[in-house]
Chain A
Amino acid sequence: MSLFSVFNVAGSALNAQTIRLNTTASNLANAESVNGDPSQVYRGRHAVFQAMMDDSDTSDDGQDASAGVRVLGIVESTTPPTMSYQPNNPQANKDGYVYASNVNPIEEMTNMISANRSFSSDVEAINTARDLLLKTISMGH
């Protein structure tokens, strides 16, 4: 029954968007993190999504109608960290410089809004499928 697959498809999207929101929260929390060693400083993380093809769903036409989405992995931003002269900072290196994380808070905020919107749409899809299924169950009453 294809209506039930909506729950799997939209559920996978809710999971993926939650992971994306988690990375955004982590990035924003560490936006002001500094370190004296540029290789040790926190780098922005971003979830990479991939469409998930369901091989078990071989419907009569052989096409995969339902799929869903999964998080392929988390990539770290390659933007170089910004260097600033803070000799009083206990994290500073011997020349008095610290490296700040490369997180761009504006980018993170827009990313968060986008994840929020997608999440809402997926919840809406689940609610609609649920309503239709409940109406179908009570067919003939």
Chain B
Amino acid sequence: MFDNIFGIHEPALLLAGQRLSVLANNMANADTPNFKARDIDFAEVLGGQGDTPLPVTVTNAGHMTLSDNGVPAGEVKYRNPYQAALDGNTVEMPVEEAAFAENNVRYQASLTFVNSQISLLSYAIAGQ
């Protein structure tokens, strides 16, 4: 029953944490020559989370089992710059700041959902 009480918000929270680190790294390297800005495609990683994965039959002891509740590994991709700098750096500060703010909101939204789920459960446990 309590396997998946937080739903999509648990992996979303972890992914937002990963993405925050990637975006902070872009900002840190805003003045580094030849640095390529990176990002995680949120929708793509979490897109497959809603569907139940097909069961994998283990017919041999040597087969590896797939972990079904693993955290989605955010695939870090390179950003397409609007206008790359002459030194080969593709970090665009306004883009980074916008993505950072958006990610911040996503994180806090997931956190709010998790918190409300916890208070709902504790309300049910206390029964008053």
Contact = CB atoms under 8 A, between A and B. Distances in A.
Overall SS of chain B's interface: helix
Contacts of A67: 25, 28-29
A129 B20 contact: yes
Nearest to A1: B17
Contacts of B70: 60
B31 A125 contact: no
A128 B18 CA distance: 14
A51 B32 contact: yes
Interface residues on A, range: 35 or more
A87 to B, nearest CB: 43
Interface string B80-117: 00000000000001001100100010011001001100
A65 B21 CA distance: 7
Interface string A54-74: 000001110101111100000
12 contacts: A2-B21, A5-B24, A12-B28, A49-B32, A49-B33, A51-B32, A66-B22, A67-B25, A128-B20, A132-B17, A136-B111, A139-B111
Interface of B: 14, 17-18, 20-25, 27-33, 35, 70-71, 73-76, 93, 96-97, 100, 104, 107-108, 111, 114-115, 118-119, 122
